[in-house]
């Protein structure tokens, strides 16, 4: 998939653990892992909004388009 999820990078920048982020945004760690690994088929706006709020960032910081 040409859409890359840079959630790991943002978590490292904010020095936050996956479990803490999952707790804040209200999803399971299994679902967060699916999102991080790029296996997710879609992301709800509400989830994206919660992630941006928790990590204090923009959607573009998390999602990236790579041609190929």
What is the binding site for other proteins (CB under 8 A)?
27, 31-32, 34-35, 39-44, 47
Considering beta carbons, is residue 15 or 41 the nearer one to other proteins? 41
Considering beta carbons, is residue 2 or 67 the nearer one to other proteins? 2
CA–CA distance, 47 with 16 (Å, rounded to integer)? 17
CA–CA distance, 10 with 12 (Å, rounded to integer)? 5
Considering beta carbons, is residue 43 or 52 the nearer one to other proteins? 43
The interaxial angle of helices 7-14 and 45-55, nearest 10 deg, is 30
Kindly state the smallest distance separating residue 32's Cβ from other proteins, in Å. 8
């Amino acid at each position: 998939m040409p859409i890359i999820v840079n959630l790991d990078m943002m978590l490292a920048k904010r020095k936050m653990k996956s479990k803490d982020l999952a707790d804040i945004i209200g999803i399971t760690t299994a679902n967060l892992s699916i999102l991080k690994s790029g296996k997710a088929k879609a992301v709800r706006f509400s989830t994206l909004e919660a992630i941006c709020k928790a990590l204090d960032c923009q959607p573009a910081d998390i999602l990236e388009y790579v041609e190929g």
